[in-house]
Chain A
Amino acid sequence: MCLGIPGLIVERWVRDDGAILAQADFDGELRTVQLNYLPDLQVGDYTIVHAGFALTRLDAQQAAETLRLMRETGVLAPES
């Protein structure tokens, strides 16, 4: 995710120490991310993550366009 792959938030929870965490689906790969910079992100939202932190909110159209460009440039595998 050197440039940030859009992730779809599929689960969200708050840890005991206050960290807001989410499980996000990055083109089929699930990873845990921190939401402290965008604490109002909810399940169903798209986000760009860098170094484990969600830094940017995307709408579904932006996410689809970004994924398309990433496939075109070979960063992501083509859709099967």
Chain B
Amino acid sequence: MTVPAGWRLFARYAYAPNARGYCGPPGARVLADVARGDGAGEHVDVPALARRFSGAWPYQVLIAELAGIDDPLDARVGRAYWTGSELTGEIDARRLGELLLERFAAQAGHYWSHLTADLLEEVTPTHVFHVLGVYPWSRLLAGGRPEPLEVLDSCRIRPGTVLERRGEQLLVSAARLGWNGRELSLGEPGPELVGYWPAGDGEDPAPGDSVAIHWRHACDLLEPGSRSQLERYTSLQVEATNRRLRRSRGEP
């Protein structure tokens, strides 16, 4: 049995936060097996695992529903959510936002009071919206502790360019989020070491390749189109977050 492309894509992006114990049920090892695509993950029930990712799964369900795609784990759906794609732009973001907030507010609205209709203008059906808009961390930036920026930057999907392979790690050039006390911004790319999976299928990243980085793990090779969509949606959400933060300070 070949692992469906959408299952593998989900496993690639879900692995790193799962391995840290942040998202989904225990199961990082089997997600890595699926992600590597070397046959070891052929018998993993990815749909059962994916349903227990309370952040990502509702987006994949709603993107599929609004796009008329039967399977929430279809690779087109996963690509639209994790990095952004042409399909992302075809989704009625406001409608998705309304449906999403119904779900999230029922589950989390009593402890995350920011999950209201005020958030609708920020919605894109993407992971970077979830990180910057739904999680509470962007609202904690002004407190001055280092964790909010570190979590936002690690949790968003970051594009990077491979400089060289160093054993089980990659040296990549990638931009970090910055915070000047008032606004978020994307800095100039700089070198950093990230983890990766030596591929079982000959897809090892090579110098010059673009990769997606999630929690300091290069989880996916990015085609130029996916990289530019990721950069575009990241910029859009950073701008939307800054508008919200300005409003929260009473500025126009």
Partner of A50, one of B24, B26, B52, B135: B135
Is A40 an interface residue, CB under 8 A from the partner?
no
Contact B51 A74 (CB under 8 A): yes
Given contacts A48-B111, A66-B111, A73-B103, contact A29 B26 (CB under 8 A): yes
Cβ contact within 8 Å between B111 and A2? no
- Kindly report which residue of chain B lies nearest to residue A76, judged by CB atoms: B52
CA distance A56 to B109 in the complex (A): 12
Q: How far is the CA of A78 from the CA of B136 in the complex (A)?
A: 28
Find out whether the CB atom of B54 lies under 8 angstroms from the CB atom of A70.
yes
Q: How far is the CB of A64 from chain B (nearest CB, A)?
A: 12
Interface string of B10-22 (1 = CB under 8 A from A): 0000000100111
Chain B 126-159 interface 0/1 with A at a Cβ cutoff of 8 Å (1 = within): 0000100011110010000101000100110000
| Contacts between the two chains (Cβ within 8 Å), count | 77
Give min CB distance, A18 to chain B, whole Å.
Answer: 13
Q: In the assembled complex, which residues on chain A have CB atoms less than 8 Å from the CB atom of B53?
A: 2
Contact status B55-A52, CB under 8 Å = no
A77 vs chain B, min Cβ distance (A)? 8
Which residues in A have their C-beta under 8 angstroms from that of B111?
4, 48, 56, 58, 62, 66
Chain A, interface size category, equals 20 to 34
Q: Mark A46-79, 1 if CB is under 8 A from B, else 0.
A: 0010111101101000100110011001111000
CB pair B104–A3 under 8 Å, yes or no, is: yes
Whether B51 contacts A56 by the Cβ 8 Å rule is no
Cα(A75)–Cα(B52), bound, Å: 4
Contact (Cβ within 8 A) A56 B112: yes
Q: Does B106 contact A (CB under 8 A)?
A: yes
Known: A48-B111, A56-B112. A3 touches B55 (CB 8 A): yes
Cβ of B108 within 8 Å of any chain A Cβ, yes or no, is yes
Q: How far is the CB of A28 from chain B (nearest CB, A)?
A: 11
B136 engages A51 (CB within 8 Å): no
Q: In the complex the two chains form, what is the Cα distance from A29 to B54 in whole Å? A: 17
List residues of chain A with CB within 8 A of the CB of B116. none
- Do A52 and B103 form a contact, CB below 8 Å, given A4-B108, A76-B52? no
Let me know if A1 is at the binding interface, CB within 8 A.
yes
User: Could you list some 29 contacts between A and B, CB below 8 A?
Assistant: A1-B21, A1-B54, A2-B17, A2-B24, A2-B56, A3-B104, A3-B107, A4-B108, A4-B111, A4-B112, A29-B26, A37-B145, A37-B147, A48-B108, A48-B112, A50-B135, A51-B22, A51-B137, A51-B155, A52-B20, A52-B22, A53-B147, A56-B111, A66-B110, A73-B107, A74-B52, A75-B51, A75-B107, A76-B52
